[in-house]
Structures are given as structure tokens and as C-alpha cells.
């Protein structure tokens, strides 16, 4: 039903990826290796996560061929700028021990809270991303944590359009404005923390809805993203839950339940967003 979503440049983006944020400790390579054993072939990492090297280690240990995998990484706030992002990309390839990425994203629109010159910096960084894309060493480029006005700035100044925007998305934080905007612009949305970092697992209404489909709240949240046309990137450290999080295709959420989930009270991890003020209308 949902093997992959086709991006605006024709690349097929697998429909569920494994998030590697916070897997950066001594057990990381083992966790990622377990995810490979659990069937994941799509991994989302970033230079900032510190998991690129562990991912490389796990892939080597698994014996899985590079072309069977879909790997995304991201340029961190300190790696923005035309020259910087190109250097960052080289370093990421080196750490991942690969000669290409499937996807490379700008991790955040601003290098720090209140940064005034973000429009220029984003455009310059994007020019570097375009050059990397043209070199043929990445199959798709995009952004992460960008709000509509950040993407608009890129669209007005780019030659290659961003293929994706990876944002926090779960029933407790659906970022409707950004999701709607991306849909209009044919930019694929990907969801980090699709199960709300487990904060939603005891939500009464979600538990009741999940029960009615015979699934867990985590499975309901992951399917909710997919049914909205959004690619979920769940994380887990146990093989049972890793498997459960991929076993999400045996049911369809009714229209009524989609509305109930979609109108839940919103309380995301917005405090983490360096530019959150703008989502509430304070334009920058």
C-alpha cells in the first residue's frame, strides 16, 4: 500500500525509516545493527547525532549491500554556508564510509536563536547543496525543521527545489500550516518523533482508538503519519518494538478517527525550535 513515496525529482523515498537520534552511546552500533536485523533498510542520521560512524559500523557488520540501503544525513547549524556545507558533506561521506548519500538535508533554518541574516545564509547553504546534488553524489536534497517562510525563501532563490522537509510530526504536534504548505509545493514531509517520543503512549483517546483497530498507540501514530502522506522515522532500542513499528499496514484509520486524532490538543517540543515565534505569526 505504501512501499515508497515518490519525491519531486522522481526518487522513491521508502515509506518508513529508522531514526538514529539519541542512539549515540556505546550501544549505538548494536541498536542500529538490531534495526537492520529487524528489517530496516532506511536510516536517518545527521552529523549532529554522532551516529554516522555507528551506522557505518553496523552496515559493515551486517554485510548488507550499500545499494539496498537508503541513507539520509544532515548538515548541522555549524556546517551552514556555501563552502562549509560542501566540506560537511565530504566529512559525512567519509564517516559513513560511503561514496554517496540517498538524501542530504539542511538540519535547521537558523544557526542560532534570533539569527537575523538567516535568509542569506540559507540561500548560500542551498547553493552548496545544489552543487553537491549536481555532482551526482546525493540522490535528493532537502531541508529539516523549516517553516513555510524559510522554504519560501529557498524556493524564490533556488534552481533545484527541496525534495523534502523533515519536521517534528505526531498527533500531539501536527504542524498543519507547514504540512499544508509542503503539500501545495510538492515537498514531501517526513516526521521525526512520529510517536511523540513516547509521550503519547498513555493518551486515553489514542489508546481507545488504537484498541479499536487492535494495534498499539505507537502503530496508530505511525500509520496516522502514513495516512497523511507523511514518512515516519520512528526510533526504538528493542527489536520487538522495531518490528512492531514496521507492522503498521494491516488497518486503515477511519475518516472520523483521522479527524479525532487531527484535532487533538497540540503540545509539541516547540521549545526546541529556534524560530518558533514565527509559527505563531510573528514573521521574521
Residues within the interface to ligand A2P (CB under 6 A): 19, 193-198, 201, 216, 218, 234-238, 241, 244-245
Burial level of 47, CB count in 10 A (0-12/13-18/19+)? Answer: buried
Q: Report the C-alpha gap between 135 and 154 in whole angstroms.
A: 20
Which of 228, 260, 219, 160 shows the shortest CA–CA distance to 5? 228
Which of 159, 157, 137, 224 shows the shortest CA–CA distance to 189? 224
Number of DSSP helices (H) and strands (E) in the chain, helices first: 10, 10
Cβ neighbour number for residue 184 with a 10 Å cutoff? 9
Catalytic residue set: 49
Residue partners of 137: CB distance under 8 A and separation at least 6: 89, 93, 99, 100, 101
Which of 262, 275, 280 shows the shortest CA–CA distance to 173? 262
Amino acid at each position: 500500500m505504501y512501499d515508497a513515496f515518490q519525491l519531486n525529482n522522481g526518487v522513491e523515498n521508502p515509506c518508513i525509516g529508522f531514526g538514529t537520534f539519541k542512539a549515540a552511546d556505546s550501544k549505538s552500533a548494536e541498536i542500529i545493527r538490531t534495526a537492520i536485523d529487524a528489517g530496516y533498510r532506511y536510516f536517518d542520521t545527521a552529523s549532529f547525532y554522532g551516529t554516522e560512524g555507528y551506522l557505518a559500523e553496523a552496515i559493515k557488520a551486517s554485510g548488507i549491500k550499500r545499494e539496498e540501503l537508503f541513507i539520509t544525513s544532515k548538515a548541522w547549524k555549524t556546517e551552514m554556508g556555501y563552502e562549509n556545507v560542501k566540506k560537511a558533506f565530504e566529512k559525512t561521506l567519509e564517516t559513513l564510509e560511503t561514496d554517496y548519500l540517498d538524501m542530504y538535508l539542511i538540519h535547521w533554518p537558523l544557526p542560532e536563536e534570533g539569527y537575523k541574516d538567516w535568509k542569506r545564509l540559507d540561500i548560500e547553504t542551498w547553493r552548496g547543496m545544489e552543487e553537491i546534488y549536481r555532482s551526482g553524489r546525493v540522490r535528493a536534497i532537502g531541508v529539516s525543521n523549516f517553516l513555510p517562510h524559510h522554504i519560501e525563501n529557498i524556493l524564490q532563490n533556488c534552481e533545484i527545489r527541496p525534495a523534502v522537509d523533515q519536521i517534528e510530526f505526531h498527533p500531539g504536534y501536527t504542524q498543519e500550516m507547514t504540512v499544508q504548505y509542503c503539500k501545495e509545493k510538492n515537498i514531501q514531509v517526513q516526521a521525526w518523533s512520529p510517536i511523540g517520543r513516547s509521550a503519547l503512549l498513555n493518551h486515553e483517546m489514542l489508546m481507545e482508538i488504537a484498541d479499536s483497530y487492535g494495534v498499539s498507540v505507537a502503530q496508530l501514530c505511525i500509520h496516522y503519519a502514513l495516512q497523511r502522506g507523511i514518512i515516519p522515522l520512528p526510533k526504538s532500542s528493542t527489536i520487538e518494538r522495531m518490528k512492531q513499528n514496521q507492522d503498521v499496514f494491516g488497518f486503515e484509520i477511519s475518516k472520523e478517527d483521522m479527524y479525532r486524532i487531527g484535532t487533538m490538543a497540540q503540545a509539541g517540543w516547540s521549545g526546541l525550535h529556534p524560530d518558533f515565534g514565527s509559527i505563531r505569526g510573528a514573521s521574521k
